[in-house]
Structure 1
């Protein structure tokens, strides 16, 4: 007959509400709470959301492509997936993950990457936010991996609204964030233009590379679904070739759904949950 919806900020409380039968559906169950749910009430699906390490290419140590390459080489995304996401994610393959079903068959290997330099104790500041409970833990593991490679890493964690302006201003050397690559329009070129071009409005890596801009512009001019996808993957390879971004993990939706409910929609774009076929 209808839907009663409420906002519950705490992920543990959302999981508890499913266990006690207080709610029929709870979305965005934290990875740490997944094991507490009965198997019959735990639902998961791939998403177009990717957790990435963005490296400040404009100022600081990561202005050097060799140190960016050293950081990229230091990251073990499989260890992140196993240790932090407890298997509820896929290792970082690119800007687009497995939920973008056409991407893997069209992926282009990055070319022209710099040779990794020796960090020799280079000091960097790594920032992330705690609105997504898994990100501080991801940052701690990345900090350890970078330290093992020879970097000296200071970690800074804040609430997102208190972090974004500083990140966009380049006040950190590295930034870990979760980004839905196809949320706004479903067009794969959109995120490349906003996040990795000289004029991009959400360019956390502060990347300004002529080769990347040309590749993104060429993709933007391309019509036809398949052709536009091919051009987007060529542009993705150009971005990854700069080592401005290191994809860490492609996240999965974890939802708690009562056994009384059927027809819940686990949308990889994270826009739909309840539809006309959802019933209790």
Structure 2
């Protein structure tokens, strides 16, 4: 039985070699003055889990500058200091992290005991946070500045893993007796979550004692607007200073200066249900793959703001393109003979229903009979994780959860994966992913990662459709926005209006 858990915030291309100056480890230098006014931010995805720091909402908290962990990702995709200013590996399974001086938003100090307790809470969270899928950790305070983290198995990617938004460090007050975890006033970031209005809005105030310097903006007024046209209109009318995920159909309506295009680690793919239904048959999965013209999607639906799908990892991850391995021994395409399939998708990213419609035409031309079901993401993905669709169109930021390419393969395509939309359980895939997980050398790990990608593509459990670039709308008076290829950050200490 598959272990299918939580919904990560759905996020398409990988990190570009050179990024704008806005993204420099997630922050820009802050001013010593009182700073500007409040920022109005329009976000595409509403909180799905009451701002839980372990599931989908962890990325919301990170993007709004509320939470942070021991490490973060720099522009090159490597682990950089955050609440930990240095670390050392101690043997195969141990790591020693040295903490910087910092405070929680409730005024308490960030101590080794507090950090160890926060990580232990995350390790016990149910459902498990994606960064710890298949991983077991223990954390213990060492002296007055250090934390020792021990993994059950060797984990050379642990510093990358600890950068995950789902492993944010919160104060003791965050953890209630009922088991609920509240990030309100208990995090360490430059902005403090002070008020929420259901799934429609959130209010954040500047945290003046932030270790990285006081933010230039006095606070953030966030609105969650699922409709892409409405988000774009909010930017045009001044109701929003920053609007994320501008639909490609709306991008041309913005002034060139307000349109910020970023290569990210997002791939849009068609996940095929390998456990039940028509696509349990490898031959029908092969027929679906053969029927799909990804160039038509990139040029048509995405209007050139995407590249045709080549694999799970797109061309912005330059080493992946150079090391890609051709899948071997794929199944021969079978005749669909009118096989009826249902494709699910969500409308928070308005291109996706259009992608599903184009796929419907292509698959029906090949002999399938296709029905499409569209809902808001938080309402449809639980059903997708339970295998209630024959296929699912989603946009996945493949580096979002850990920054480690191997981890997304483990989460999405192994028998015990926490986000296994295709319900794939294949011994060869699991073995290939395990080999990559156990490889510490960077070059060897990359080779093993691409071998694992080839093993997954061999099964036709997923058809990579496009590697997308995202468009962020930024008002003319705004500066210091963070154009993060991992989509973990949007505002920081230097964001201002």
TM-score by length of 1: 0.94
Which consecutive unaligned segments of at least 5 residues does structure 1 have?
Answer: none
Match of residue 172 from structure 1 = 389
The one of 184, 196, 205 aligned to 2:422: 205
Deviation at 1:107, TM superposition (A): 1.0
Rg: which structure is higher? 2
Please say which of residues 143-152 and 86-95 is displaced more in the overlay: 86-95
Deviation at 1:110, TM superposition (A): 0.9
Closer/same/farther in 2, CA of residues 23 and 158 from structure 1, 3 Å limit: closer
The one of 205, 221, 225 aligned to 1:5: 221
CA offset digits 1:226-273 (Å, max 9, x no partner): 221111111000000110100111121201123334443311101122
Match of residue 398 from structure 2 = 181
> Are 2:346 and 1:129 equivalent residues in the alignment?
yes
The one of 310, 322, 344 aligned to 1:105: 322
Which segments of structure 1 move beyond 6 Å, counting only runs of 4 or more?
none
> Are 2:236 and 1:57 equivalent residues in the alignment?
no
Query: Would the aligned equivalents of 1:218 and 1:231 in 2 still touch at CA under 8 Å?
Result: yes
Query: Would the aligned equivalents of 2:228 and 2:348 in 1 still touch at CA under 8 Å?
Result: no
Which consecutive unaligned segments of at least 5 residues does structure 2 have?
Answer: 1-34, 36-216
- Whose helix proportion is higher, 1 or 2? 1
Match of residue 138 from structure 2 = none
> Are 2:252 and 1:28 equivalent residues in the alignment?
no
Deviation at 1:103, TM superposition (A): 1.2
Asked which structure has the greater RCO (Cα within 8 Å, sep 6+), the reply is: 1
CA offset digits 1:160-198 (Å, max 9, x no partner): 233223222222111111111110110111111111111
Match of residue 256 from structure 1 = 473
The one of 351, 365, 368 aligned to 1:151: 368
Please say which of residues 22-31 and 128-137 is displaced more in the overlay: 22-31
Q: Partners of 1:175 and 1:111 in 2: how far apart?
A: 24
SS in 2 for 1:163: helix
Query: Would the aligned equivalents of 1:195 and 1:202 in 2 still touch at CA under 8 Å?
Result: yes
Deviation at 1:90, TM superposition (A): 1.5
SS in 2 for 1:255: strand
RMSD across aligned positions (CA):
1.7
Q: Partners of 2:329 and 2:344 in 1: how far apart?
A: 28
SS in 2 for 1:171: coil
Query: Would the aligned equivalents of 1:46 and 1:98 in 2 still touch at CA under 8 Å?
Result: no
Closer/same/farther in 2, CA of residues 163 and 17 from structure 1, 3 Å limit: closer
Query: Would the aligned equivalents of 1:103 and 1:233 in 2 still touch at CA under 8 Å?
Result: yes
Query: Would the aligned equivalents of 1:253 and 1:266 in 2 still touch at CA under 8 Å?
Result: no
Query: Would the aligned equivalents of 2:414 and 2:430 in 1 still touch at CA under 8 Å?
Result: yes
Q: Partners of 1:169 and 1:209 in 2: how far apart?
A: 18
Matches within 5 A, 1:233-244: 233-244=450-461
Please say which of residues 29-38 and 162-171 is displaced more in the overlay: 162-171
Deviation at 1:8, TM superposition (A): 4.0
Matches within 5 A, 1:74-85: 74-85=291-302
Q: Partners of 2:328 and 2:373 in 1: how far apart?
A: 32
Aligned length: 280
The one of 453, 461, 484 aligned to 1:267: 484
